[in-house]
Amino acid sequence: MQKMKNGKQLVKKKIRKYVLLTVAAFFYAIAISLFLDPNDIAPGGITGVAILINRFTNVPTGTLNLILNIPIVLLGLWKFGFTFIFSTMYALGANTILTNY
């Protein structure tokens, strides 16, 4: 009985984690799509580079963000393993979809 209860708690914890990741990706995508990108503000990091490249190529910023993050995610996969990187890949995918939408 205790094992089943712990299993349910683990599932609830993982669902909560991915709901929070989705909400965070949503707000981040709104910040990029409605504030940074239209006002030609390029923050630091991969997002800023993606906004700059977008100005020259017209490839969507979210797609560029995904493409530029692939080497970093692969390095993280090598260093930390799939279990840790899976949530990062989920957040990156959600951010890409929401930013392009």
For residues 36 and 68, what is the distance between their CA atoms, to the nearest angstrom? Answer: 18
> For residue 45, is pLDDT > 60?
yes
First-to-last alpha carbon distance for the chain, in angstroms, is 45
Instruction: Name the pTM for this structure.
Output: 0.80
Answer yes or no: are the C-beta atoms of 36 and 51 closer than 8 Å: yes
DSSP 101: -
Q: Is the pLDDT of residue 44 over 90?
A: no
Instruction: Calculate the average pLDDT of the chain.
Output: 89
As given in the structure block, the two tokens for residue 70 are 């692939």
Q: Where are the alpha helices (DSSP H) in the chain?
A: 2-30, 46-57, 61-80, 82-100
